[in-house]
Amino acid sequence: MKSKKNWLRNDSVQALLCSLICVCIGIIIGYLVLLAIDPSGAGQAITAILKNWMNSSMANLRLKNLGSTLVNTAPLLLCSLSVLFAYKVGLFNIGASGQYCAGMTVALYAALAWHMNWVICMILAILAGAVVGAISGALKAYRNVSEVISGIMLNWIILYIANMVLSNVKESTSTYTLKMAQNAPQAILPTLGIDKLFNNFQYATIAIPLAIIVAILIWILLEKTKLGYELKATGLNKNAAKYAGMKENQNIILTMAISGALAGLAAACLYLTGITQWSTGTTSVPGMGFNGIAAAFLGGLSPIGSIISSYFIQHITLGGTSINLSVYPSQVADLMSAIIIYLCGFVAFFKLMLNKWLDKRESKGGK
C-alpha cells in the first residue's frame, strides 16, 4: 500500500499518466470525426494514422517511412526544447517560429550563396536564432515588453526577410530555394551511416541523434547546474532572484537567446538535410515553432518527455497522410494532435482528480 501510494504520487508518473489520458481522448475524438465523415472506412483510417510507417507492407518502405518520421521529429524536438526552456524561466516563447525561420534563412543562404560547409551553416543558424531570441529578451528585460507580443511581431518580420533574402538563391523557374543536393552538397549534414539503418534513406542524418543529445543536455542544464538553478529561480520568482543577487535581466536575455538558438538549430537540422525546400512565396510563419509549444506541453514540460511527445506528434501527423485521402482529409491527424494539445490544458485537472481519488483510497485504507 505504502509503496504503491508513493509510486502514483510521483510527479513524473502523474505527468505521464495525464499525458496518456490526453492522447487517448484525442484519438477517440479523432475516431469519432472519421466515423462522422464516413463510417465504413473509419476503423481502417484510424489504424492507418496510428500505425504510420508500420502500415507499409514492405520492410524497406517501413524503414524509410520511419526514417522520414524521425527526420521530421528532430526539428520538432528542438523547437519544443526551445519553448520548454523559456517556459521554465517563466517566459512564453511564441517567437520560436520566427527564430526557426531566421535559422533557416541563414543556414540556406550560407549554404547556397556562400557555399559554406555544414558546420558553419549550422553555427550561423544557431546564432541567428539566438540573436532574434535575444531581441525579445532584451525588450522584455529593459522595456518590459511582453515576449509574446514582440515574439509574434518578430515572427512576421523574419518571415518576410526570409522570403526577401532567399529570393536570391531560388530556382529560376519556381519559388523554391535551390536544391541542396545539386547546389550545396558540402552543406548537407553527414549521415555517419545512420541512413543505412533506414534502408539508405539519405535524409536520415546526424540531426536525429543530435536532437536527442541536445534534449539530454538541456535536461542536465536545467536540473543539475548552477545556471539552471538561477534561471528557474528567476522564472519562478523574479523578486526573490533579485533579492538573492541574481542578475535577473541578464538571465531573461540569456534564456531567450538560448531558446532562440535551439529554434535556429531546429531549422538547420531540417533544411540542411535537403529533405525540403523553402518556398519564397510562403505567406505564413512555419508551423514548426508552434508545434513545438504543443510538443513541449504534451511532454509534461520535461526535456525527456519532449522526445516522446515530439515523435508522437510527427508519427500521427505523417500517419494522417497515409489514409484514404479521397474520403478523409489528412487534417484529421492535425485535428487529433490539436485536441490532444488542447486537453493538455486539463492536465492539472486530471492530476487533481487523480489525487482526490488517491486521497479517498488512502483514507479508506487508513480506517
Partner 1 sequence: MAEQYAIEMLNITKRFPGIIANDNITLQLKKGEIHALLGENGAGKSTLMSVLFGLYQAEEGIIKKDGVQVDIKDPNDANALGIGMVHQHFKLVDCFSVLDNIILGVEPTKNGFLQKKEARKKIVDLSNRYGLMVDPDAIVEDITVGMQQRTEILKMLYRDSEILIFDEPTAVLTPQEIHELMKIMKNLAKEGKSILFISHKLQEIMEVSDRCTVLRKGKYVGTVNTNETTMEQLSAMMVGRNVNFHVEKEEKEAGEVILEVKDISVASKTKGKDAVNHVSFNVRAGEIVCIAGIDGNGQTELVYGITGLEPLSNGSLIYKGEDITKQSIRYRSVHGMSHIPEDRHKHGLVLDYSLEYNLVLQRYFESQFTTKYGFLKRKEIREYSDGLIEEHDIRSGQGSITVARSMSGGNQQKAIIAREIDRDPDLLIAVQPTRGVDVGAIEAIHKQLIEQRDQGKAVLLVSLELDEVMDVPDRILVMFEGEIVGELDPKKTTQEELGLYMAGAKKDEVKSV
> According to the binding rule CB under 8 A, does residue 225 interact with partner 1?
yes
Decide: 332 and 42 in contact? Cβ < 8 Å.
no
| 6-45 footprint of partner 1 as x/- string (CB under 8 A) | ---x------------------------------------
Of 158-166, 174-182, 187-195, 225-233, the window that binds partner 1 (rule: CB under 8 A) is: 225-233
> According to the binding rule CB under 8 A, does residue 236 interact with partner 1?
yes
**Which C-beta is closer to partner 1: that of 28 or that of 244?**
244
How many residues touch partner 1 (CB under 8 A)? 23
Helix (H, G, I), strand (E, B) or coil at 16: helix
What is each CA distance from 269 to 94, 171, 197, 340, in whole angstroms? 20, 22, 18, 26
Task: Kindly state the smallest distance separating residue 226's Cβ from partner 1, in Å.
Answer: 5
Give the footprint of partner 1 on residues 122-161 (CB under 8 A). none
What is each CA distance from 178 to 119, 173, 188, 266, in whole angstroms? 19, 10, 13, 20
Question: b/e for 296-330, b at 16 or more Cβ within 10 A?
Answer: bbbbbbbbebbbbbbbbbbbbbbbbebbeeeebeb
The DSSP letter of residue 194 is: H
**Length, in residues, of the chain:** 367
Grid cell, residue 209, equals 541523434
Decide: 22 and 349 in contact? Cβ < 8 Å.
no
**Which C-beta is closer to partner 1: that of 160 or that of 243?**
243
Residue of 57, 172, 182, 226 interacting with partner 1 (CB under 8 A): 226
> According to the binding rule CB under 8 A, does residue 241 interact with partner 1?
yes
Decide: 143 and 248 in contact? Cβ < 8 Å.
no
Q: How far is the C-alpha of 184 from the C-alpha of 202, rounded, in Å? A: 15
Q: How far is the C-alpha of 248 from the C-alpha of 110, rounded, in Å? A: 35
> According to the binding rule CB under 8 A, does residue 352 interact with partner 1?
no
Of 185-193, 224-232, 260-268, 309-317, the window that binds partner 1 (rule: CB under 8 A) is: 224-232
Task: Kindly state the smallest distance separating residue 230's Cβ from partner 1, in Å.
Answer: 8
Of 20-28, 169-177, 230-238, 330-338, the window that binds partner 1 (rule: CB under 8 A) is: 230-238
Residue of 114, 160, 243, 349 interacting with partner 1 (CB under 8 A): 243
Task: Kindly state the smallest distance separating residue 363's Cβ from partner 1, in Å.
Answer: 6
Decide: 275 and 69 in contact? Cβ < 8 Å.
no
Residue of 245, 283, 284, 326 interacting with partner 1 (CB under 8 A): 245
> According to the binding rule CB under 8 A, does residue 354 interact with partner 1?
no
Which residues of the shown chain bind partner 1 in the complex (CB under 8 A)? Answer: 9, 224-230, 232-233, 236-237, 239-246, 355, 359, 363
